[in-house]
Amino acid sequence: MASHDPPDPPSTSFVAILPVKPPRVGKSRLGDVEDVRRRDLAGAFALDTVTAVVACPEVAEVLVVTDDAAFSRDLVALGCASMPDGDTHDLNATLQQAALEARRRWPHLQPVAICADLPALRPDDLGAALRVASTGGAWFVADAVEVGTTLYTAPYAEFAPRFGVGSRLAHQASGARAVTGGLATLRCDVDDRADLRRALSLGVGTHTAAVAAPLA
Ligand SMILES: Nc1nc2c(ncn2[C@@H]2O[C@H](COP(=O)(O)OP(=O)(O)OP(=O)(O)O)[C@@H](O)[C@H]2O)c(=O)[nH]1
Ligand SMILES: C[C@H](OP(=O)(O)O)C(=O)O
């Protein structure tokens, strides 16, 4: 007989930490795009990424880190908390600082840093990666071209992200393990127009679809 019991909750629950550069200065590699559309695209990527992360059952809390106070209100309306960067001027230091705050608020969760430029992200791809990472230790997800990183997680005591140029190798060298498998929507970070085309072909969230339509 079919059971109507709810599914077991995931063994490890995560707090997702998403860094968001103020959209007016983000995504400088998008090429020949007018400034207003670049800002709108950068903002739309973050809104669609946060929407997917909030919808992922393995994620119990979402903390966005941004120095754009006005934009943070739009993100918070999607169901996350927010905090400013502070004065580190360094992405990894900013993430470490956010992890300290997350530990203070949610000590029972594991921090996972996720880039906020994943407009095609689907909650099931994120959930699949997090179930692998639930097995313990530090894990990362490489981007589609196997150069950068879109996700990094480790228990609070080991949390040491190494985002930046060549971060796939940096994470590997740190001893973190790569999550394998397709996970196309989780690997599809958008830096340039070719990435944007790839994301559009996977299917993007509503915010990006609206802003990108005239460019397609
Ligand atoms: N809060 C915060 N987020 C950042 C910072 N630098 C990068 N990010 C975010 O980290 C993620 C990956 O960053 P990048 O791919 O380098 O994005 P970007 O800096 O907007 O793009 P480029 O201008 O093309 O380098 C994106 O979600 C960015 O918004 C930072 O200094 N502070
Ligand atoms: C944050 C960085 O993203 P990129 O700017 O290389 O896409 C990375 O992959 O570590």
Q: Which ligand approaches the C-alpha of residue 145 most closely? A: 2
Question: Does a structural domain hold residue 30?
Answer: yes
Contact predicate 45/27, CB 8 Å: yes
The pLDDT tens digits for 142-186 are 999 999 999 999 999 999 999 999 999 999 999 999 999 999 999
1 pLDDT exceeds 60? no
Distance 115 CA to ligand 2 centre (A): 8
Query: Which domain CATH number covers 143?
Result: 3.90.550.10
Q: Alpha-carbon torsion 87, 88, 89, 94, what sign? A: negative
Residues paired with 111 in a beta bridge: 15
Domains: count for the chain:
1
Question: Does a structural domain hold residue 7?
Answer: no
Question: Does a structural domain hold residue 4?
Answer: no
Contact predicate 109/15, CB 8 Å: yes
- Mutation choice for ligand 1 from 20, 21, 48, CB with most ligand atoms inside 8 A: 21
In the numeric block, the tokens 């071209």 are attached to 145
- Top-confidence residue, 58 or 88: 58
Question: Does ipTM surpass 0.90 in this model?
Answer: yes
Helix (H) or strand (E) holding 44: helix 35-54
Q: The sheet that has 81-83: what strands, in order across it?
A: 81-83, 59-65, 14-19, 110-114, 149-153, 139-142, 177-178
Structural domain containing residue 102: 14-215
Residues touching ligand 2 (Cβ under 6 Å) are: 115, 143, 148-149, 163-164, 167, 189, 191
Q: Which of 113, 115, 125 is nearest to 202 (CA)?
A: 125
The pLDDT tens digits for 8-57 are 555 689 999 999 999 999 998 987 788 889 999 999 999 999 999 999 99
Question: Does a structural domain hold residue 156?
Answer: yes
Contact predicate 104/121, CB 8 Å: no
Q: What pLDDT is recorded for position 33?
A: 81
Residue nearest to atom 12 of ligand 1 (CA): 115
Q: Which ligand 1 atom is the nearest neighbour of the CA of 49?
A: 27
99 pLDDT exceeds 50? yes
Band of residue 2 on the pLDDT scale cut at 50, 70, 90? very low
Question: Does a structural domain hold residue 5?
Answer: no
Question: Does a structural domain hold residue 125?
Answer: yes
Q: Which ligand 2 atom is the nearest neighbour of the CA of 143?
A: 9
Q: Which ligand 1 atom is the nearest neighbour of the CA of 28?
A: 23
7 pLDDT exceeds 80? no
Q: Which of 125, 130, 134 is nearest to 113 (CA)?
A: 130
CA–CA separation, 216 and 204 (whole Å) = 12
